[in-house]
Chains A and B, each alone.
Chain A
Amino acid sequence: MLAQAARRFLLAIPTLLIIVASVFVLMHAAPGGPFTKERQMPPEIERRLLEKYHLDQPVGQQLLTYIGDLVQGDLGPSMTYKDKDVLDIIVEGAPTSAILGLSAMLLALFIGGGLGVMAALRQNRAQDYVVMALAIVGVCLPPLVVGPLAQLVFGVELHWLPTGGLRRDEFDALHLLLPIVTLSLPLIAVISRLMRASMIETLRSNAIRTARAKGLPEAQVIWRHALPIAMLPVVSYAGPALAGVMAGSFVIETVFQLPGIGKQFVIAATQRDYTVVMGVVLVYSVLIIFFNLASDLTYRLLDPRTRAA
């Protein structure tokens, strides 16, 4: 298992380099630059600015300089936020994105998983239809719609919850409740459907038939034997999905005015803040690679068959 992890980490290095190179080139191919603005700056200043950020060099050269700095752990200064480095911006945004992503995923695993199991056990009955209908609604209604609606209902109309932000510059549960729930709704929908399908299949498997034939109590059959196997598709979905929600959900962070890195990423892209875009892409890639590995390793824990291999 250690050898597998080590191999995957080694493979991650060329993967990251390819990602860095392609994003770098694509981004520089977009028209306009970080200093293209409505107002003119004196030519001397512009020349020095371009020089400072190496933008006067050919893209290939810039890429090599960037990778050189990167190897030394330097993500560079932000090109738009003159008082900050890329690392400052990521460090500022990371706690919010991590709290949002982790809580939404945990919530989704419990609620989505629970609903999925319930639907599977009550297959083709009222509960099943209700859960699956809700899941379809959850998939179809994007957070871009649910977020503002939730703000209107619970914030503006009922005055129960704040409409957005944190408690000024502090975290608190009350302010994070709506964004976490909104972010978890589509996850709940997907997970419950995955869980239901997988559970139905597992319950028909030979292993479960054997367990029942042994005369095990039904609860033990379901929770102890069926659930771990049924969870496999959910785990392989949840790994990369967790990377996605943790690297920041742009929509949620914008709608609820939260200081996460997903929002930073999109803002940086429109402002052509090349270094910040690169920094966030790196964080996202590392998370994806890490959680993919984590979900593969979880497979081994859940499914006895993969352990032999």
Chain B
Amino acid sequence: MPPFWTSRRSLLAGAGGLTAAASLAGCANSRIIGLDKARRSLDICNQGEPLSLDPHKASGTWENNIIGNMFVGLTTEDAHARAVPGMAERWETSEDGRTWTFFLRRAQWSDGEACDAHDFEFAFKRILDPANLAEYAAILYPIMNAQAVNSGQMPPDNVGVRALDDLTLEIQLEHPAPYLPQLLRHYTAYPVPKHKVEQYGDDWIHPDNVVVNGPYILVKWWSNYIVHLQRNPGFWDADSLTLEHLYFYPTTDVQAATRKVLSGEAGWSTRFPSNQVDELRRALPGYAHVAPFLSCNYFSFNCTRPPFNDVRVRQAFAMAYDRDFVAQQIYRTGEHPAYSFVPPGISDYPGTSRFAWAEAPIAERKQEAERLLRAAGYGPNNPISFEFSHRNTSDNPRVAVVVQNDWRSIAPWVTVELRGVEAQVHYANLRAKNYDVGDGAWVADFNDAKNYLFLMETRTGWQNYSGYSNPAYDQLMEASDFEADAARRAAIMVRAEQIMLNDAPICPSVFMNSTNLVHPDLTGYEDNAEDIHRARWFGIRA
């Protein structure tokens, strides 16, 4: 008998195998089309896996990308992410700016039950009830008694939200908050279906139980793989929806996300690697979207111990860092160097505060830095040495090398050690003030300068990573809370930011841009500073 690979039978089998393989390749036409015009479906590379789809337990922008298509709050966002009426058709504010009355539209949950003011009242009390373990409830603290309820000092019924009748909701505030319409479109302020939550408890968000008041309903959720949403025919504006299906893939690997768009299997990726922008513009004409984003990368100085308890040392290192180089060479999509903390593009905020030395050339700034360090007592006989802690993810390690190089070049007696750690460990260290200088990033929760500046307030606690505490700053920030006039309030916050920059508890690095790859035939996608794009406004170009 001949060896097996020359026998007739094995030849036949081999031929059969080849045919099978060829026919498999043949049905490649049945592959996924990212923007499928016939099915009216969109496949989306989202940057992470939702930890929860319950709006009261969510905490990330990637969760917002999904949840924001399922629920609509009192206000909502248009294609440009501006606050527009959502469930509330209009609202009135009292003289002192502390009582807001919202007049709701008639609307229903996807099971036909009415979605009204009682659901909102129920929702606000649920999220602020500490038993519900909502990690993000703190952003609703401007509401009357919210903080007291959330910290267990008062029963949930004391929350300052009341349904006056089915379609009228009254919200009382601790202090005037002209930014309330901005805040109320955040997912923490979404309504939840009272009847379903009472029936199923925390399992109400399970695809079998969930009902929504927004344009899309949850059909399937497969952990770390896919979330499938489908058009909700019961949505009040359902007739104007173009897309029927939305598929969200948690694509933490940004390269994989890009490949998926390149191969046509995804019609939208919420990120792309900024250093590949030129190649991507060539390979995918019309796809790359770059827009200023309400996000600031910054480094915290640990003000609670030497050497950074000295303002001269902090100023020296803040000025010797060449953020222009980082903005142009590390991030490649036109990011702006940060000489202040509040990003440009924040609404109702002039953003005129800046480091005093912002215009000086870097060489001059390094000389000045050396002078400041010498004045603080450092020099060849008393060298300064400390650690720069950074997250070892994305571009952060590359930035760290530039930082180290800039700071060492001030003088030979400056030593900077790099310590790259995973994000969880890094934040644990920052929180315990177990670091010298540490990097970090802040993305706005809602479009208001306070959402940045509160980080440096004394009362913020451990999240004030630098441990900065200046009574003048705290006073101004508190005063801004009680100023009902938007322009005067902004002016107070500008002064506060300038005081903070003069004390330099932080070294702002770069204002980030959002990077999206979007199929050119997807209409209704508009670049905006918050990088929020609701499928409700999407259409398909024929």
Residues of A within 8 A of B (CB): 31-33, 35-45, 48-49, 52, 80-84, 88-89, 92-93, 114, 117-118, 121, 148, 151-152, 155-156, 159-169, 173-174, 177, 217-219, 254-255, 257-259, 263-264, 267, 270-272
Take A155-B259, A163-B263 as given contacts and tell me if A272 and B424 are in contact as well, using a CB distance cutoff of 8 Å: yes
Which residue of the partner chain, among A52, A84, A156, A160, contacts B259 with CB atoms under 8 Å? A156
B57 interface residue per 8 A CB criterion: yes
A162 and B31 within 8 A (CB) = yes
Query: What is the CB-to-nearest-CB distance from A119 to chain B, in angstroms, rounded to a whole number?
Result: 11
A93 and B223 within 8 A (CB) = yes
B463 and A39 within 8 A (CB) = yes
B32 and A259 within 8 A (CB) = no
Query: What is the CB-to-nearest-CB distance from B294 to chain A, in angstroms, rounded to a whole number?
Result: 15
**Chain B, Cβ-Cβ closest to A38:** B427
A38 and B440 within 8 A (CB) = yes
Take A164-B256, A165-B265 as given contacts and tell me if A42 and B425 are in contact as well, using a CB distance cutoff of 8 Å: no
**Chain A, Cβ-Cβ closest to B131:** A48
Take A163-B260, A168-B247 as given contacts and tell me if A45 and B3 are in contact as well, using a CB distance cutoff of 8 Å: no
Residues of B within 8 A of A114 (CB): 4
Stretch of B47-55, B109-117, B191-199, B355-363 with 4 or more beta carbons under 8 angstroms from chain A: B47-55
Per-residue contact bits, chain B 124-155, to A (CB 8 Å; 1 contact, 0 not): 00000011011111100000000100111000
| Interface size grouping (class) on chain B | 35 or more
B223 and A174 within 8 A (CB) = no
Count, A-B residue pairs, CB within 8 A: 175
Take A36-B428, A168-B228 as given contacts and tell me if A83 and B1 are in contact as well, using a CB distance cutoff of 8 Å: no
**Chain A, Cβ-Cβ closest to B24:** A174
B65 interface residue per 8 A CB criterion: no
A118 to B131, CA, bound (A): 67
B205 and A162 within 8 A (CB) = no
Residues of A within 8 A of B422 (CB): 32, 270
Report 19 cross-chain contacts, Cβ distance below 8 Å, ordered by A residue: A35-B135, A36-B428, A36-B431, A39-B59, A40-B460, A40-B462, A42-B151, A81-B49, A83-B54, A83-B57, A151-B263, A162-B31, A163-B256, A165-B265, A173-B24, A174-B30, A219-B1, A257-B251, A267-B224
**Chain A, Cβ-Cβ closest to B258:** A156
A62 to B49, CA, bound (A): 28
Residues of B within 8 A of A177 (CB): 24
Take A160-B28, A177-B24, A257-B225 as given contacts and tell me if A49 and B263 are in contact as well, using a CB distance cutoff of 8 Å: no
Query: What is the CB-to-nearest-CB distance from B190 to chain A, in angstroms, rounded to a whole number?
Result: 16
B38 interface residue per 8 A CB criterion: no
Per-residue contact bits, chain B 19-38, to A (CB 8 Å; 1 contact, 0 not): 00000110110111000000
Take A31-B428, A81-B51 as given contacts and tell me if A257 and B256 are in contact as well, using a CB distance cutoff of 8 Å: yes
B28 and A161 within 8 A (CB) = yes
**Chain A, Cβ-Cβ closest to B28:** A160
Which residue of the partner chain, among B28, B222, B251, B256, contacts A92 with CB atoms under 8 Å? B222
A264 to B224, CA, bound (A): 7
A164 and B260 within 8 A (CB) = yes
A45 and B133 within 8 A (CB) = yes
Residues of B within 8 A of A (CB): 1, 3-5, 24-25, 27-28, 30-32, 43, 49, 51-54, 57, 59, 130-131, 133-138, 147, 150-152, 202-203, 205-206, 220, 222-226, 228, 247, 249, 251, 253, 255-256, 259-260, 262-265, 422-425, 427-428, 431, 440-441, 460-463
A164 to B249, CA, bound (A): 11
Residues of B within 8 A of A88 (CB): 223
B137 and A42 within 8 A (CB) = yes
**Chain A, Cβ-Cβ closest to B48:** A267
Given A165-B260, A168-B226, 18 more pairs with CB closer than 8 A:
A32-B427, A36-B425, A37-B135, A38-B423, A40-B461, A40-B462, A44-B152, A83-B202, A83-B203, A160-B25, A161-B25, A162-B263, A162-B265, A163-B256, A165-B32, A167-B32, A257-B225, A272-B424
Residues of A within 8 A of B441 (CB): 38
Query: What is the CB-to-nearest-CB distance from A143 to chain B, in angstroms, rounded to a whole number?
Result: 14
A82 to B4, CA, bound (A): 56
Residues of B within 8 A of A155 (CB): 259, 263
B137 and A45 within 8 A (CB) = yes
Query: What is the CB-to-nearest-CB distance from A40 to chain B, in angstroms, rounded to a whole number?
Result: 4
Query: What is the CB-to-nearest-CB distance from A84 to chain B, in angstroms, rounded to a whole number?
Result: 6
Residues of A within 8 A of B256 (CB): 163-164, 255, 257
- Tell me which of A44, A48, A258 has the highest count of chain B C-beta atoms within 10 A of its own C-beta: A44
A44 and B224 within 8 A (CB) = no
A170 to B54, CA, bound (A): 25
B260 and A271 within 8 A (CB) = no
Residues of A within 8 A of B152 (CB): 44
Query: What is the CB-to-nearest-CB distance from A226 to chain B, in angstroms, rounded to a whole number?
Result: 13
A240 to B349, CA, bound (A): 62
B138 and A40 within 8 A (CB) = yes
Residues of B within 8 A of A41 (CB): 135-136, 138
- Tell me which of A118, A160, A168 has the highest count of chain B C-beta atoms within 10 A of its own C-beta: A168
B1 and A37 within 8 A (CB) = no
Residues of B within 8 A of A35 (CB): 135
